Structure 1
Amino acid sequence: MKKLALLATALAMVSGSALAADLRVKAVKAPPPPAFDPWDIAFGAGITNDYIFRGITQSNHKPSVNAYFEPRFNVTKDFQLYVGLGAASISFPNRAAAEVDAYGGARLTVGQFAFDVGAWGYLYPGGTCQYGAANAFNGGTTDAGGVPLSNECLLNSLVNSNVLKKDVSFFEVYGKVNYTFNDNFSMGGNVYYTPSFLNSGAEGTYASIVGKAIAPSTWFGASGIGMYVSGEFGRQWLGTSDSFYGTALFPNGINYADYNTWNIGIGFTYKVFTLDFRYSDTNLSKGDCNAFTSDFSARGNINGTNLGTFVTPINPSGVGSNWCGAAGIVKLSADLTAMTNLK
């Protein structure tokens, strides 16, 4: 009996200890969830063999480098405010060598839809007025509308008689929407508007549809490499310039040609790096391209074509530009966010 009593006492002690341990465990509160940090910063840089913007080279088909910095404030997990500053090397007819971008907006995610609205400023410091005094349409001391030209304009002229203002900075407002079907496929649309494209006086509206297909992660196993195919088809509508760009037939300004542009490419990702191979093109003629871009490299004889072939109502000089034609683009870029990559 004593043995049984001792055994019962031992069992009770063990059971009581276990129960007490259980009670202590249950009484400990779970650690609080990590505090929501609304701030984040995205930044990155890249290099490309040709800076193409809506089908038109901004770097005279030469290499270009770019970088950006974008602070973000996440109001909620689905609503974000952002501002950004970026820069890229360019080669413009007015000798501007850099594009500086200042932008800001808001992003909202609703289910599988992602919305983005904002404003974007394109600044081109360091430009000088270029006026084709050799053909100046009216003698070269005033623009085509009779406004006197500055001394700077009179001192600078492009050999192909093209003209470009000193300041071609402008801004656009934009709206974007993207729909994600699944982890591998998404489609979207974009609309941009400016009251004066490249400070030309001509309104500009750009609309496009975009699509992207991402390869299944199983294709590359545990290598960390990703792959995608993406493309865009867009149309740029343009209005009438001010008299600075006028011609003898259109002294108050020329009505720039609207045009279509498209691109398609394949890209590879690894950690923060992306290597993108892309084909880009437009349906602009060489003459209308020259009238729109004031290409300093435009000539009247391109690949054996004689002077005069590129004459259009808005391009009476007849010189033609290759800035709007087919182009192959290779770009290497790195994109990071502080909350993801710098923890």
Structure 2
Amino acid sequence: MPSQLDILTFHRIMPRGEKYFIPPMAMDVRTFTRLIERLVAADRVVDLQEGVKLLRSGELMGRKVAITFDDGYLDNFVWARDVLLRVGAPATFFVPLTPIDNQDVYWWDHLYDMVSRDDQSFFKWALSRNNPQALNKALENAALSRSRSHGERCRVLVQAANRLGEQDRKSFLGALVDEFGPCRAERLLMNWDELRQMQTEGFSIGSHSVSHIPLTDLEPQAARYEITASADLLKDRLGCRPAGFCYPRGAFRESHAEMVKDCGYDFAVTTCFGGNDGACDPFVLKRRNMSDYQGVRAWFPVAMHLFELSGRLDGLLAARRSA
């Protein structure tokens, strides 16, 4: 069997009965539990840093998986951590510095909080602004779609905001805070005490930059700062430099991979779909996003995830997820 390392990407692990308004970022804790149990029972789970090392040296045997989490959500500590500790599964948590330091919710969660709390006031204010055309169109569509849930309407706005440049997005979100104040949602992110606890329990903490701004939205000097300063700041917070870097939103150029390498990281992960063999570049590692299925596949999610991890659908999925 050819050697391959499949790196799994999780974001949020949701308690039973709760949904996240961005489905590709969430998995029900019951599905997560059964999936991890099955992978551990099959002896497929390896630590990411060790797996990359073995893959590059030609010593990785068979097809293994490494578990990663992006963004530092509190539910990683509350729900995922317990499962991982119980079954003895290693995992790497990629966290950005400033959101953890300030407990700043991500802008998409702030939008959802505002829309779900007072959608009429939000849309009245937002549509009165001089916004980029693409954002205005999304706002108009969401404002008129009152039969849809708050989550569905907000997801349209998030997709439009994701396509904006950093300055336009920052301008809109800064005005939102000025008009309505900070997000009132309950704490969504882990803090440093919780991350230090997980580190003592054997989990790895990696860098997800300083600010979580996509590197492709930044000038080269600013991008280099995000890469290098995050390593130094994580060492200050946790006592050791991170081995791995995770590109915010998966956005990177070849020059960014070179910066990561120059900074002394051992590897970097992307959001490019697929597995990694011995010939892979350790600074542009592919991953597989893990989330709840919708539709018929939701009836047997663990079996479907395991089938996808067999690689038999890679040709179809690679084309679909790169579109």
Band of TM-score, shorter chain: under 0.3
Answer 1 or 2: which has greater helix percent: 2
Question: Which gives a bigger RCO, structure 1 or 2 (Cα 8 Å, sep 6+)?
Answer: 2
> Is the radius of gyration larger for structure 1 or structure 2?
1
